[in-house]
Structure 1
Amino acid sequence: MSARSVTVALDDRTVLRGADLDVGAGEWVTIIGPNGAGKSTLLRAVGGLLPFTGSIELFGTPITGLRRRERARLVATVPQQPTVPPGIAVLDYVLLGRTPYIPTLGRESRSDLEVVHGVLERLDLTGFAPRPLERLSGGERQRVFLARALAQGATLLLLDEPTAALDIGHQQEVLELVDELRRDRGLTVLTTMHDLSVAGEYADRLVLLAGGRIAAAGKPAEVLTEENLATHYGARVRVIPGEHGPLVVPVRS
Structure 2
Amino acid sequence: MTANLTATSAPTAVEAVDLRVTLDGACILDGVDLTVAVGEWVTIIGPNGAGKSTLLRAVGGLLPASGSVSLFGTPSAKLHRRQRARVVATVAQSPVVPPGMAVFDYVLLGRTPYMPPLGRESAADLSAVHDVLGRLDLGRFADRPLTTLSGGERQRVFLARALAQGATLLLLDEPTSALDIGNQQEVLELVDQLRRDHGLTVLATMHELSIAGEYADRLVLLAGGRMVAAGPPRAVLTEELLATHYRARVRVIDGAHGPLVVPVRGPAEQQS
TM-score with structure 1 length normalisation? 1.00
Q: 1:241 maps to what in 2?
A: 254
RMSD of aligned residue pairs (Cα, Å): 0.3
Residue type at the aligned position of 1:69:
R
Separation of aligned partners in 2, 1:165 and 1:152: 24
Name the SS of the counterpart of 2:255 in structure 1: coil
Q: 1:49 maps to what in 2?
A: 62
Separation of aligned partners in 1, 2:264 and 2:181: 21
Name the SS of the counterpart of 2:203 in structure 1: strand
Q: How far apart are residue 12 of structure 1 and its match?
A: 1.0
Q: 2:169 maps to what in 1?
A: 156
2:69 paired with 1:81: no
Question: Structure 1 vs Structure 2: percent identity of aligned residues?
Answer: 76
Q: 2:81 maps to what in 1?
A: 68
Separation of aligned partners in 2, 1:152 and 1:236: 42
Q: 2:18 maps to what in 1?
A: 5
Name the SS of the counterpart of 1:73 in structure 2: helix
2:122 paired with 1:109: yes
Name the SS of the counterpart of 1:80 in structure 2: coil
Q: How far apart are residue 157 of structure 1 and its match?
A: 0.2
Q: 1:143 maps to what in 2?
A: 156
Residue type at the aligned position of 1:193:
M
Q: 2:31 maps to what in 1?
A: 18
Residue type at the aligned position of 2:109:
L
Residue type at the aligned position of 1:235:
A
Separation of aligned partners in 2, 1:36 and 1:135: 32
Q: Which runs of 4+ in 1 moved over 4 A?
A: none
2:244 paired with 1:227: no
Q: How far apart are residue 186 of structure 1 and its match?
A: 0.1
Q: 2:138 maps to what in 1?
A: 125
Q: 2:185 maps to what in 1?
A: 172
2:263 paired with 1:250: yes
Count of paired positions: 253
Separation of aligned partners in 1, 2:167 and 2:103: 20
Q: Deviations over 1:202-225 (max 9, x none)?
A: 000000000000000000000000
Separation of aligned partners in 2, 1:134 and 1:103: 29
Q: How far apart are residue 154 of structure 1 and its match?
A: 0.2
Residue type at the aligned position of 2:221:
L
Q: Deviations over 1:22-69 (max 9, x none)?
A: 110000000000000000000000000000000000000000110000
2:48 paired with 1:35: yes
TM-score with structure 2 length normalisation? 0.93
Which sections of structure 1, spanning at least 5 residues, go unmatched? none
Q: How far apart are residue 165 of structure 1 and its match?
A: 1.3
Separation of aligned partners in 2, 1:239 and 1:22: 27
Q: How far apart are residue 251 of structure 1 and its match?
A: 1.0
